[in-house]
Amino acid sequence: MIGWFSAFVLFAMVWAMVMLVLLQTGVTTQGDEGRKLSGTHASAPVAVGLKRRLWLATGIALVIWVPLCWLIVSGLITIDGLRAVTGRPPLD
């Protein structure tokens, strides 16, 4: 069984991974547009769109997190099962 704190930690990990991917996709840099502001690097983004990316990351993370929680709660994924896949003996 998965506790509420474990479920939160799983969601936070999934959300962070999704957010790191989203921060790199669809970014238009100042160098791409050819108008670099003084004191900034050419690879600095023109518009970050952070609020939209935060909501998108949350939605995508929920879509990934719900099946993961279901797999854990249903017993299809267990610690002993993961240990068997990696060739380690089950826990006593």
Cα distance between residue 57 and residue 63, in whole Å: 10
* Predicted confidence band of residue 1 (pLDDT cuts 50, 70, 90): low
Q: For the chain, which residues make up each domain, given as ranges?
A: 46-85
> What is the 3-state composition of the chain as percent helix, strand, coil, each rounded to the nearest 5?
60, 0, 35
* Predicted confidence band of residue 2 (pLDDT cuts 50, 70, 90): confident
pLDDT (tens digit per residue) in 19-28: 999 998 888 8
Interior CA angle at 43 toward 48 and 55, to 5°? 20
pLDDT (tens digit per residue) in 12-51: 999 999 999 999 888 888 888 888 888 888 888 888 889 9
Is the separation of the CB atoms in 64 and 14 below 8 Å?
Answer: yes
- The mean per-residue pLDDT over the stretch 68-88 comes to 90
pLDDT at res. 67: 96
Q: Left if phi > 0, otherwise alpha if psi is -120 to 50, otherwise beta: which for 26? A: left
